Amino acid sequence: MIERDRELLVRLGRFNRYLGAVVVELLQRQDGGELPAEGLCALADRLSALAAELHARAAEIDGVVVATCCREPAVLPARQWEALEEVLAEMCERTSGALEDLHDRGRGILETCRPAGHPALTLPEGDSLRRRIQQTIGALAHLADVAPDDARAVRATGEAVADLARHMLAHSPNPVP
């Protein structure tokens, strides 16, 4: 087993040594600003194969897959992937101005992603309300991660939450007096 561990470490070292060159090559082969799909797939396949071997070895050592480092990624429904892609596309299209709103929206989408087997929330007003909710959740996540002690950020996020609440109450089927 020690020999296998050494082999894994050698492969990791080799991959690490050439990763910078692979990134430079991908950047040079961009077609109209897009990375080459075949290059991305080849890189993903190599990463995936190496990751699978590392997970298998961790399971051999521990007898089980280590929960904290070897989690399977959540499978997202197409709708959530499309929402994430939309946010990323908007970020790429913008060339100036504050992008914090898009960052928050992206974080909100990520925070609300569910594995494919879980039922999705059905929200009234479709995309408009969904978008506001995602932005607000993203703003809350950003506040919790980066600025929980920043009074200005706390107030701005509180106002965003209050705005969402007012919007939801005004458009609910049973308005609250």
Do 13 and 52 reside in the same domain of the chain? yes
Give the per-residue pLDDT at 122. Answer: 44
Q: How far apart are CA 169 and CA 23, in angstroms?
A: 49
Do 26 and 96 reside in the same domain of the chain? no
Segment 72-99, tens digit of pLDDT: 455 566 666 566 666 655 665 564 445 6
Residue 175 in any domain: the answer is: no
Model confidence at 7, pLDDT cuts 50, 70, 90, reads confident
Give the per-residue pLDDT at 120. Answer: 44
Do 32 and 93 reside in the same domain of the chain? no
pTM as predicted: 0.35
Do 55 and 122 reside in the same domain of the chain? no
Do 86 and 164 reside in the same domain of the chain? yes
Do 58 and 82 reside in the same domain of the chain? no
Comparing 63 with 9, the larger pLDDT belongs to 9
Segment 34-74, tens digit of pLDDT: 777 777 777 777 777 777 777 777 777 766 544 444 444 55
Do 10 and 34 reside in the same domain of the chain? yes
Residue 71 in any domain: the answer is: no
Domain count, the chain: 2
Residue 73 in any domain: the answer is: no
Give the per-residue pLDDT at 118. Answer: 43
3-state class (DSSP) for residue 171:
coil
Q: How far apart are CA 82 and CA 75, in angstroms?
A: 13
Give the per-residue pLDDT at 143. Answer: 76
Q: Structural domain of residue 158, as residue ranges?
A: 78-170
Q: In the listed set 62, 91, 107, which residue is the last one of a domain according to the structure?
A: 62
Segment 114-167, tens digit of pLDDT: 444 444 444 444 557 777 777 787 778 777 766 778 888 888 888 888 888 888
Do 37 and 89 reside in the same domain of the chain? no
Q: How far apart are CA 59 and CA 65, in angstroms?
A: 4
Give the per-residue pLDDT at 126. Answer: 52
Residue 127 in any domain: the answer is: yes
How many other β-carbons are positioned within 10 Å of the β-carbon of residue 59?
A: 13
Give the per-residue pLDDT at 60. Answer: 74
Contact, 58 vs 70, CB < 8 A?
Answer: yes
Give the per-residue pLDDT at 152. Answer: 84
Q: Encoding tokens for residue 151?
A: 């009074």
Do 7 and 86 reside in the same domain of the chain? no
Residue 84 in any domain: the answer is: yes
Do 162 and 128 reside in the same domain of the chain? yes
DSSP H stretches of helix in the chain: 2-28, 37-62, 78-93, 100-112, 126-146, 151-170
Do 88 and 166 reside in the same domain of the chain? yes
Give the per-residue pLDDT at 65. Answer: 47
Contact, 105 vs 136, CB < 8 A?
Answer: no
Do 160 and 95 reside in the same domain of the chain? yes
Q: In the listed set 11, 36, 62, which residue is the last one of a domain according to the structure?
A: 62
Residue 176 in any domain: the answer is: no
Q: In the listed set 62, 90, 109, which residue is the last one of a domain according to the structure?
A: 62
